Amino acid sequence: MTATEAITKPQASSPVRSERATNPYLGILGVFLGAGIATLNARLVSVGLPDLRGALGLGFDEASWIPTALNMATMFSGVFVVFVASLFGPRRILLQAAAIFAVTSALLPFAPGYRPMLAMVVIAGVASGTFYSLTMTFVLTALPKRLIIFGIAAYAGDIVFISNIASLLEGWYIEYLSWHWIFWTAAAVTPFMMACIYHGIPRRPPASSKPSWRGFAYFSVGLVLLYGALDQGERLDWLNSGVIVGMAAGGILLVLAAGVRRLLQPNPTLKLSFLNRRNIIILALSIFVFKFVHLATIVLIPGFLSNIQQYRSLQTGHALAWVALPMLVVVGLVAIVVLHTTSRLTLALGLTVVAAGCWICSHVDTQWAGISFEAVEVLLAAGFGCTYIGLVGSIVLEGLEAGALSSAANAATFSGLMHLTRIFGGQTGVAVMNHFISVREKLHSNLLGLHLQIGSWLTDERLRLLSGGLFSGSTGQDEAQKRAIGILSKQVHAQAYTMAIADGFLLVGWMVVAYLLLMLFLRPPKFSYQDLRKMQ
């Protein structure tokens, strides 16, 4: 099949039109709202975890499982929905999942205890996990080909905008409303999503064939267990914890069982041979790279501001959220640029800009505050906009060229790989970064400690000056000395953590360099978005 045929040929299992007319643009708005709601809900729970702990009286260990349970549930449905969508279509799944999600989110603040809340979080996660996986598939089939790049830009703006404003929104809720709105936001917005889907996505009769769901279930549960092991590994000390060993072993066993099931009874919903293309694999890795470099603004900068400058959520939100509006302008301009250049060039340019911004941030010191990051935040925002549109645009072109829309199995397989990389790869990146920061902080702390020994004249002089300044507020010289040692210890910790954050920015930069080298192995594309407009 030629590239042109792959684009223009209708899907083998094209949906039957319902008698009731629908507006595809309302459907697109609905799936965009769904992706944004799911992203916002996960971010609000993550950044609002300290406030949830305080409001509910939970310990650190108990509370840490709330976002883990939410993300594990999201991962399960994000993979399993590929199978379910092939049977029932997106409309039925999204409407039912959205209704469950809205009701559960509304009731979550009234959970009678920790375990009921955890169970309700899992239900909400399973429901919201369907929102991501069906978004781009529907957009590609509903939009005219000439408008696909603008649909990609809108999707990029949606996700990145939501990620930037989550801290500000959560801080505002805690300051002026209540912690309940961490969950009620989703309950308030989801009905609008349901209305758009109801009027925008046509009905589709259930598929006549009923392929086996067991392989999908094994694979989904296996990934969920591995995800949980990655998320809790740093806190529980990895393989020194029986919980982590059990989750990892169970996850690996179930993934292997899914592989055996595939060999013995292949599921017609998937066509794994379709993925045997160099470009598809390299471009799928670009999703992992983006999720990793995005940690610069959702992990490294907020971590520095909260740990070193003691920013609260609202203050951190103010420091980060203001770039969300320029981001919307950037993604629109980048979409126009892609039409006249190539999406791969845009991807490479965006990653280069991100690497430059991370190199600047690697010079961070303990005197930096929110205002110190403003200029580099603009640079990173522009880089993220270019990167996201470039990577999604390149993936879409590769899928069209390979014939992803020529059959339902190809579409499900291609979409499944990309969403698997996004969800699981993203958590892998978070686990790697958190472990890296922890290890580097311990290293720098030990190295600094070699120069801070009692008896060294520099150390003794520093302690003497500190204790002298604290003497008037202390009961005696001994208390002043103890307080001085505590302050010096905190200063060492601040320096070690700051140096670890700087190393984290350098790690992001080197990840970009490695992927740019990998992009050299991409085969040249056969057409561009300008060609799509002509084909249309």
pLDDT at 458: 62
Which of the residue ranges 27-41, 131-145, 218-232, 465-479 would you say has the lowest mean pLDDT? 465-479
- Residues paired with residue 456 on neighbouring β-strands, in sequence order: 454
Cβ contact 516:283 at 8 Å: no
The pLDDT-based confidence of 9 (bands split at 50, 70, 90) is very low
Average pLDDT over residues 505-511: 96
Angstrom CA distances, 33 to 127, 242, 307, 320, stand at 14, 40, 33, 22
Q: Could you tell me the pTM of the whole model?
A: 0.86
> Which pLDDT score, from 0 to 100, does residue 504 have?
96
At 73 the pLDDT is: 93
Say if residue 392's pLDDT is above 60: yes
CA distances in angstroms from 229 to 6, 54, 241, listed in the order given? 40, 26, 10
- What average pLDDT does this structure show over 22-29? 88
Whether pLDDT at 320 is above 90? no
Contacts of 467-473 spanning 24+ positions with Cβ under 8 A:
none
Q: How many CB atoms lie within 10 A of CB 1?
A: 9
pLDDT grade, residue 219 (50/70/90)? very high
The reported pLDDT for the residue numbered 8 is 43
- Mean pLDDT, all residues of the chain: 85
In contact, 343 and 519? CB cutoff 8 Å:
no
When pLDDT is averaged across residues 500-525 and rounded to a whole number, the result is 95
Please say if the pLDDT value at position 1 is more than 60: no
Note the pLDDT tens digit of each residue in 416-446.
Answer: 788 788 878 887 888 889 889 999 999 998 8
- At residue 478, the pLDDT reads 66
Q: Rounded CA gap, 348 and 352, in Å?
A: 6
478 touches 470 (CB < 8 A): no
State percent of the chain over pLDDT 90: 42
Share above pLDDT 70 across residues of the chain, in percent, rounded to a whole number:
88
Q: What is the pLDDT of residue 144?
A: 80
**How would residue 82 be classed by pLDDT, with cut points 50, 70 and 90?**
confident
Q: How far is CA 175 from the centre of its chain?
A: 26
Q: Which two tokens stand for residue 109?
A: 């603040």
pLDDT score of 14: 43
What pLDDT shows up at residue 11? 44
Tokens of 16: 């039957």
Mean pLDDT over 465-488 rounds to 67
Query: How does 500-524 read in b/e, with b if 16+ C-beta sit within 10 Å?
Result: bbbbbbbbbbebbeebeeebeebee
Nearest CA to 326 among 284, 258, 278, 381? Answer: 381
**What Cα–Cα distance (Å) separates residue 393 from each residue in 152, 158, 170, 342, 525?**
7, 15, 32, 9, 12
Question: Which helix (H) or strand (E) segment is 36 a member of?
Answer: helix 24-47
Q: Is residue 158 a contact partner of residue 36, using CB atoms and an 8 Å limit?
A: yes
Domains of the chain by start residue, with CATH: 20-204 (1.20.1250.20), 270-536 (1.20.1250.20)
Summarize pLDDT for 259-310 with one digit per residue, the tens. 999 888 888 878 888 888 899 999 999 999 999 999 998 899 999 998 998 8
Find the angle CA(534)-CA(15)-CA(423) to the nearest 5 degrees.
80
Angle between helix 374-402 and helix 135-142 axes, rounded to 10 deg: 60
In this prediction, residues 156-176 reach a mean pLDDT of 83
